[in-house]
Homo-oligomer: A and B are copies of this chain.
């Protein structure tokens, strides 16, 4: 396992330093913490949006900090929830009088620590609400998770909640938009090769030279099926069908599509997957409003991809179009 790092137990610390040094005009680190925030937050009269979780999923979540998306991201160690204290620091760092919304991916550690931090913040007089994203249709209850896992669909929650906050929505309104997004978003992923946590120094799972795993989680949690690797068309079909089974989409409905790379997959392959996804939706009479192809939520250098569909109405389409300067989610 080769990595371009200095010390396995310093990767998150050094990543944060390198990240803030890359954009010192817009980002700042809250001293002595693993919180990265908009330099200009808290923003007066705007609900603060905070997300975070284990590191190793970059650009999630710090790459979504910016006007119209997140105010802060709280970074844990690799694939490890940030502590209650760190989340508490993140909330305090961006809290305006309008309050703070926490966007949490559904992993037991994240949910516990973010909720406890919210209680601490409320005890200090900060209004806090939270939503839990559980878009992964692959499995119910997995390692680290009760219920469904939160994966790449989380980025749409950042976008919609961030846009609503940017437009001046109240905490209640911003939370409602985030919940609506969660209700309407579904994802599923698959892998052809594993990743290695720097401190572990070896792959978190193994796949034989001709194997793939459908429904795998972004930490390498077990999926639903391990088989011989299939053509891209079949992979895209299996992912999209499983997602569609779980959504109530009718002819004429509109969706936003994301084809997300897990870290080591060339963009070329993501576009090949997208071709089939688009053809399937067209065949079913489902209209595609916008499509995002790239790396939005990774698992270090895992090889594989995920597909996400978000059913949109006029409100969500308008929010998607709200200007943002978060560098990793560009809407043309």
Residues of A within 8 A of B (CB): 2-7, 11-12, 14-19, 21-23, 25-26, 55-56, 58-59, 63, 66, 78, 192-193, 195, 209-210, 212, 229, 231-233, 235, 257, 259, 263-275, 278-279, 291-295, 298, 300-301, 303-305, 325, 327-328, 330, 332
Structural contact, B300 and A268, CB atoms closer than 8 A: yes
Residues in B with CB closer than 8 Å to A229 are: 2
Distance between A326 CB and nearest chain B CB, rounded to angstroms: 8
Contact check: which of B26, B59, B209, B231 meets A267 at CB < 8 Å?
B59
Residues in B with CB closer than 8 Å to A78 are: 268
Structural contact, A293 and B332, CB atoms closer than 8 A: no
Structural contact, B4 and A272, CB atoms closer than 8 A: yes
Structural contact, A298 and B267, CB atoms closer than 8 A: yes
Would you mind naming 21 contact pairs between A and B with Cβ atoms under 8 Å apart?
A: A2-B209, A2-B212, A5-B232, A6-B232, A7-B231, A14-B272, A16-B271, A17-B271, A18-B270, A18-B275, A19-B274, A19-B293, A22-B274, A56-B266, A78-B268, A263-B264, A263-B266, A266-B298, A268-B300, A294-B328, A295-B295
Distance between A44 CB and nearest chain B CB, rounded to angstroms: 21
Distance between A276 CB and nearest chain B CB, rounded to angstroms: 8
Residues in B with CB closer than 8 Å to A212 are: 2
Distance between A7 CB and nearest chain B CB, rounded to angstroms: 8
Contact check: which of B268, B275, B332 meets A56 at CB < 8 Å?
B268
Structural contact, A275 and B17, CB atoms closer than 8 A: yes
Give the complex CA separation of A147 and B21 in angstroms. 34
Give the complex CA separation of A293 and B14 in angstroms. 14
Q: Which residue of B lies closest to A10 (CB)?
A: B272
Give the complex CA separation of A58 and B270 in angstroms. 11
Structural contact, A264 and B264, CB atoms closer than 8 A: yes
Residues in B with CB closer than 8 Å to A192 are: 2-4
Distance between A261 CB and nearest chain B CB, rounded to angstroms: 9
Contact check: which of B6, B231, B264, B292 meets A231 at CB < 8 Å?
B6
Structural contact, B271 and A15, CB atoms closer than 8 A: yes
Structural contact, A271 and B193, CB atoms closer than 8 A: no
Structural contact, A268 and B21, CB atoms closer than 8 A: no
Distance between A201 CB and nearest chain B CB, rounded to angstroms: 12
Structural contact, B56 and A15, CB atoms closer than 8 A: no
Distance between A195 CB and nearest chain B CB, rounded to angstroms: 8
Distance between A253 CB and nearest chain B CB, rounded to angstroms: 18
Structural contact, A58 and B274, CB atoms closer than 8 A: no
Distance between A17 CB and nearest chain B CB, rounded to angstroms: 5
Residues in B with CB closer than 8 Å to A278 are: 18, 21-22
Structural contact, A332 and B4, CB atoms closer than 8 A: no
Residues in B with CB closer than 8 Å to A55 are: 268
Give the complex CA separation of A120 and B69 in angstroms. 48
| Residue of A22, A25, A295 with most partner-chain B CB within 10 A | A22
Residues in B with CB closer than 8 Å to A56 are: 266, 268
Structural contact, B21 and A291, CB atoms closer than 8 A: yes
Structural contact, A291 and B23, CB atoms closer than 8 A: yes
Structural contact, A19 and B301, CB atoms closer than 8 A: no
Distance between A138 CB and nearest chain B CB, rounded to angstroms: 17
Distance between A3 CB and nearest chain B CB, rounded to angstroms: 6
